[in-house]
């Protein structure tokens, strides 16, 4: 009985510490965005988020996000298939190279493309001849965003594929099924959910990417500004309310994606457990 009582007190002490920490560290910053956005009233908020430059930044952010999601999906499926379905020398090295974009500093991510495509890089004369700007231009922004999100889908689906093993695919291949049939009929159904989580994660990262994009954008307002960069400019110009208003768009988008992911996780878990229940 004594033990039970102590348990109750300890339980609530720990819960309160956890809740307090998360309140200060997570909820207050979120609340700050809301408070900051509406500091000058609802009308001003609407005006800020429908500002010409804001909308342009939103459009660039969405384009970069879509490009990232497509690239990480295609790459993730291909690479995960190659790495988990076959054995070949150098597999470990390839796996660690794939992880590079998410392990190095975003500033360094941006920097390597600045060096590669910048005036001093060997590709620059070629691009200059064709008349394509990469650095301080939209293509550069899209490339670095693609880079930082490249491993997202891969990282989500590889553990699932590894856990499943290759027997089902081998069985199908022995019966003469083509690679495409094996992929669509046998492999993909098993990685559908992690694949979708990977896409959501990469969308959320791409939308919010700041450091890498910041290096390569040149901060040209209305041209190479993504939403996070636009937030930075506004904030540094002491347009705090506008900065928070624009930030609130990002918050809404990212929280929407987060909720979507959590809901899908919940749904897929329930589906799986329902399938297993039917056995019993």
Partner 1 sequence: MERSTSKKIIPGFGLTFGITVAILGLLVILPLSYIVIYTLKLSPKEFFGVIFTRRVLTSFWISISTAFIAMLINTVMGILIAFVLVRYDFPGKKLMDGLIEIPFALPTAVAGISLTALYRENGALGRFFHHFGIPVAYSRFGIVIALTFVSIPYVIRSVQPVLQNLDPSIEEAASSMGASRFKTFRKVIFPEIEPAVFSGAALAFGRCLGEYGSVVFIAGNMPYKTEIVPLIIMSKLQEFSYSEASAIAFVMLIISFLILMISNIVASHNIKIKGGVS
Partner 2 sequence: MYVTLDDVNKSFGDYKASDHVSFSIEKGKLTGLLGPSGSGKTTILRMIAGLESPDSGNITIDGTVVNDIPASKRGIGFVFQNYALFSYMTVEDNIAFGLSVQKVAKEKISQRVSELIELVGLKGMEKRYPSQLSGGQRQRVAFARAIAPRPKLLLLDEPFAAIDAKVRVELRTWLKEMIEKLGITSIFVTHDQDEAIEVADQIIILDHGRVEQSGTPVEIYQHPDTAFTASFVGNATVIPDYHIFSHFEDIHGACTAVIRPEFLHLTRIGEVEQFPNSSEEGIVNSILFRGSHMEIKVWVRGSLLTVNRPLEAGQVEIGEKVHIFIYQIFVTTGDKVYHLKNEALYDDSVVI
Q: Which residues bind partner 2 (CB under 8 A)?
A: 167-168, 170-178, 181, 185-186, 189-190, 275-276, 278-279
Q: Which entry of partner 1, partner 2, none binds 100, CB below 5 to 8 A by partner kind?
A: partner 1
**Residue 183 CB partners (closer than 8 Å, separation 6+):** 81
Q: Does 126 bind partner 1 (CB under 8 A)?
A: no
Least Å from the CB of residue 274 to partner 1: 20
Q: Please, which residue, 25 or 174, has the CB nearer to partner 2? A: 174
**Residue 117 CB partners (closer than 8 Å, separation 6+):** 123, 124, 127, 134, 135, 140, 143
Question: Rounded to whole angstroms, how far apart are CA atoms 150 and 72?
Answer: 5
Question: Which one among 2, 88, 276, 278 touches partner 1, defined by CB under 8 A?
Answer: 88
Least Å from the CB of residue 63 to partner 1: 16
Question: Rounded to whole angstroms, how far apart are CA atoms 38 and 35?
Answer: 6
Question: Which one among 130, 163, 174, 175 touches partner 1, defined by CB under 8 A?
Answer: 174
Please report, as residue ranges, which positions from 15 to 34 form the binding site for partner 1 (by CB under 8 A).
Answer: 15, 17-19, 21-22, 24-30, 32-33
Q: Are 194 and 160 in contact (CB under 8 A)?
A: yes
Least Å from the CB of residue 101 to partner 1: 7
Question: Which one among 115, 132, 220, 267 touches partner 1, defined by CB under 8 A?
Answer: 115
Question: Which one among 133, 164, 240, 264 touches partner 1, defined by CB under 8 A?
Answer: 240
Question: Which one among 1, 5, 52, 87 touches partner 1, defined by CB under 8 A?
Answer: 87
Least Å from the CB of residue 100 to partner 1: 6
Q: Which stretch binds partner 1 (CB under 8 A): 46-54, 124-132, 259-267, 269-277?
A: 259-267
Q: Which stretch binds partner 1 (CB under 8 A): 46-54, 83-91, 126-134, 271-279?
A: 83-91
Count of chain residues binding partner 1 (CB under 8 A)? 91
Least Å from the CB of residue 185 to partner 2: 7
Question: Which one among 64, 150, 153, 157 touches partner 1, defined by CB under 8 A?
Answer: 150
Q: Which entry of partner 1, partner 2, none binds 190, CB below 5 to 8 A by partner kind?
A: partner 2
């Amino acid at each position: 009985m004594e033990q039970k009582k102590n348990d109750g007190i300890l339980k609530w002490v720990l819960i309160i510490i956890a809740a307090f920490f998360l309140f200060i560290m997570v909820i207050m910053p979120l609340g700050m965005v809301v408070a900051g956005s509406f500091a000058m009233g609802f009308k001003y908020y609407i005006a800020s988020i429908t500002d010409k430059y804001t909308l342009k930044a939103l459009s660039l952010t969405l384009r970069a996000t879509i490009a990232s999601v497509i690239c990480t999906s295609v790459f993730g499926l291909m690479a995960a298939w190659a790495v988990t379905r076959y054995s070949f020398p150098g597999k470990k090295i390839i796996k660690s190279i794939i992880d590079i974009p998410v392990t190095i500093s975003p500033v360094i991510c941006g920097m390597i493309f600045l060096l590669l495509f910048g005036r001093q890089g060997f590709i620059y004369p070629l691009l200059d001849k064709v008349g394509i700007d990469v650095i301080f231009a939209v293509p550069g922004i899209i490339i670095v965003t693609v880079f930082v999100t490249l491993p997202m889908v891969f990282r989500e689906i590889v553990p699932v594929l590894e856990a499943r093993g290759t027997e089902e695919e081998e069985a199908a291949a022995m019966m003469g099924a083509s690679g495409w049939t094996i992929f669509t009929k046998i492999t993909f159904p098993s990685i559908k959910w992690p694949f979708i989580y990977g896409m959501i994660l990469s969308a959320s990262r791409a939308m919010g990417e700041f450091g890498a994009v910041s290096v390569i954008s040149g901060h040209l307002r209305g041209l190479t500004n993504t939403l996070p960069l636009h937030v930075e400019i506004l904030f540094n110009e002491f347009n705090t309310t506008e900065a928070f208003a624009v930030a609130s768009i990002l918050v809404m988008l990212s929280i929407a994606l987060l909720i979507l992911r959590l809901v899908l996780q919940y749904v897929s878990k329930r589906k799986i457990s329902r399938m297993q229940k039917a056995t019993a």
